[in-house]
Structure 1
Amino acid sequence: MFLNRLPDWLVVCFRVALLGEIYQEIRAIAVGYDEKGRVLIRYYLERDPTDLDWESVEVVATNVDAASSEVGISRIDVECLYVSGPLRGLPSLSGFVYARREFN
């Protein structure tokens, strides 16, 4: 079970880790964090995941790991999911670190 809020230090890590990794097909990025230091990074995409998406989420995971070397991350898992429908219906895990503006 994930915490209901991301720790501030982890949000800061993601601000740096996401530089250059946001592109048009990403609708949102949710992150889960639990008390054992496990992190789940989930890309919500507007199409089926491609190799580019998997490479991007792995780069973000590596950047988060490097930025948080002094604090409590024990494991990082990644997911890429195609989703349709409104963003407001998507599970946020512990919180969104990115959500694009959608007018529909």
Structure 2
Amino acid sequence: MNETEIRQALLISMQRALWGKIYPSVRAVAVGFEDIRKLKVICYLDREPREEDYENLSEVTAEVCADIDFKEVEEHCVYAVKPFSQLDNLASWVYIRKEE
């Protein structure tokens, strides 16, 4: 797969994998990749991360890896209060919460 094909497949897979996985503390989810060698996902929260946040994110990335055979996965849950424009969106946002 070329980069465009990976990006398209990844964004579709992430959208499906996130069904039922977004809860009130999740502010945003960013995704990036290095070919099919590495998948990187950042889940931004409005509070300090807990074990269940990492478990939830791990379930999401496992579903993505069932669709696309990434060799390595990097997952981060991050407490962030900065505006979205100041956060790292990697290659793309896959979820952003509406905030006032």
Name 1:12's counterpart in structure 2.
12
Name 1:78's counterpart in structure 2.
75
Report the Cα distance in structure 2 between the residues aligned to 1:18 and 1:65, rounded to whole angstroms: 13
Q: Deviations over 1:23-45 (max 9, x none)?
A: 11000001111135311111000
Q: Which amino acid aligns with 1:78?
A: E
Q: Which amino acid aligns with 2:75?
A: V
Aligned alpha-carbon RMSD (Å): 1.6
Q: Are residue 51 (structure 1) and residue 51 (structure 2) matched?
A: yes
Unpaired segments ≥5 residues, structure 1: none
Q: Deviations over 1:1-54 (max 9, x none)?
A: xx8xx7111111111111110011000001111135311111000000011101
Report the Cα distance in structure 2 between the residues aligned to 1:17 and 1:36, rounded to whole angstroms: 18
Q: Percent identity?
A: 30
TM score, norm. by length of structure 1: 0.85
Partner SS state of residue 77, structure 2: strand
Q: Which has the higher helix share?
A: 2
Q: Are residue 42 (structure 1) and residue 42 (structure 2) matched?
A: yes
Unpaired segments ≥5 residues, structure 2: none
Report the Cα distance in structure 1 between the residues aligned to 2:98 and 2:17, rounded to whole angstroms: 20
Structure 1 segments, 4+ long, off by >3 Å, are none
Partner SS state of residue 24, structure 2: coil
Q: Give the deviation of 1:68 after TM superposition.
A: 2.1
TM score, norm. by length of structure 2: 0.88
Q: Give the deviation of 1:95 after TM superposition.
A: 0.7
Report the Cα distance in structure 2 between the residues aligned to 1:86 and 1:53, rounded to whole angstroms: 21
